[in-house]
């Protein structure tokens, strides 16, 4: 794998989409091939599974299995080929989100999630994960102003605080891969933090 794999993580309302687009423009201006994608999703099959996950009621295990099924297709059809040809891949969420949402938010067994992670993508991990960290109440206000809520976004603040704690646990387990970005600040200040992380890595 010669490409660069960067993921953006955080609860809904943290501003991931805005900053993924900004980073893509920055990298393309420097001549890089950039692939922008998301999870669940990124392939025709994975997008259909995304619709089920976001729109249909189910238990935590079913939810996790569908997310990992979508991820498997995404990894094989998009992520590995992009990295193999040297592209920079920017992904809106990856497996950290599953540990945060299904593990932290739903309270599902992290050991089962870890086994699924090994089966689905082995030792493939992002080179950098930008965690746009935001208190749940601020995120809820932003979401309410932006769009109608999906099944996850209708969860209460306690759920999103557990998700946030799940992200913190993932960062504690992989501190060199993660960079925490204070997403409560204005857009320019958030972008400045992201640029600082890239400069730190001479990117």
Alpha helices by DSSP H, listed for 34-79, are 44-55, 60-74
Exposure b/e, 24-36, CB count within 10 A at least 16 = b: bebbeeeeeebbe
Q: Which residues touch 180 (CB under 8 Å, ≥6 apart)?
A: 131, 133, 171
Taking only the tens of pLDDT, the chain with its 203 residues reads 578 999 999 998 788 999 999 999 999 999 999 999 999 999 999 999 999 999 888 999 999 999 999 999 999 999 999 999 999 999 999 999 999 999 999 999 999 999 999 999 999 999 999 999 999 888 778 767 666 666 776 778 899 999 999 999 999 999 999 999 999 999 999 999 999 999 998 88
The rounded distance, in Å, linking the Cα atoms of 86 and 12 is 30
pLDDT digits (tens, 9 = 90+) for 80-103: 999 999 999 999 999 999 999 999
Question: pTM for the complete prediction?
Answer: 0.93
pLDDT on residue 154 = 75
Q: Which two tokens stand for residue 195?
A: 């640029």
The rounded distance, in Å, linking the Cα atoms of 26 and 178 is 20
pLDDT on residue 202 = 85
pLDDT on residue 147 = 63
The rounded distance, in Å, linking the Cα atoms of 180 and 8 is 10
Domain ranges, ordered by start, for the chain: 4-200
* 42 DSSP 8-state letter: S
pLDDT on residue 131 = 98
pLDDT digits (tens, 9 = 90+) for 51-67: 999 988 899 999 999 99
Q: Which two tokens stand for residue 17?
A: 């989409």
Q: What strands lie across the sheet with 4-9, from one edge to the other?
A: 34-38, 88-92, 4-9, 128-133, 178-182
Q: Which two tokens stand for residue 107?
A: 């309270």
* 152 DSSP 8-state letter: T
Contact criterion met (CB below 8 Å) for 71 and 120: yes
The rounded distance, in Å, linking the Cα atoms of 128 and 139 is 23
Distance of CA 67 to the CA centre of its chain: 12
Looking at CATH, the fold of the domain delimited by 4-200 is given as Rossmann fold (3.40.50)
């Amino acid at each position: 794998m010669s490409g660069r794999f960067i993921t953006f993580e955080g609860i809904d309302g943290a501003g991931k989409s805005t900053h993924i687009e900004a980073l893509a423009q920055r990298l393309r201006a420097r001549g890089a091939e950039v692939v922008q994608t998301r999870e669940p999703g990124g392939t025709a099959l994975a997008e259909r599974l995304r619709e089920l996950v976001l729109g249909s009621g189910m238990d935590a295990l079913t939810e996790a299995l569908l997310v990992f099924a979508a991820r498997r297709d995404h990894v094989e059809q998009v992520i590995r080929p992009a990295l193999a040809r040297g592209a920079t891949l920017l992904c809106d969420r990856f497996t950290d989100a599953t540990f945060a949402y299904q593990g932290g938010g739903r309270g599902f067994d992290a050991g089962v999630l870890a086994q699924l992670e090994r089966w689905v993508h082995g030792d493939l991990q992002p080179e950098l994960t930008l965690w746009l960290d935001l208190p749940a109440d601020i995120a809820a206000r932003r979401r309410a102003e932006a769009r109608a809520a999906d099944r996850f976004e209708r969860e209460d603040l306690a759920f999103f605080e557990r998700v946030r704690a799940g992200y913190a646990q993932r960062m504690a387990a992989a501190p060199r891969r993660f960079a925490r970005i204070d997403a409560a600040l204005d857009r320019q200040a958030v972008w400045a933090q992201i640029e600082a992380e890239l400069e730190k890595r001479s990117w």
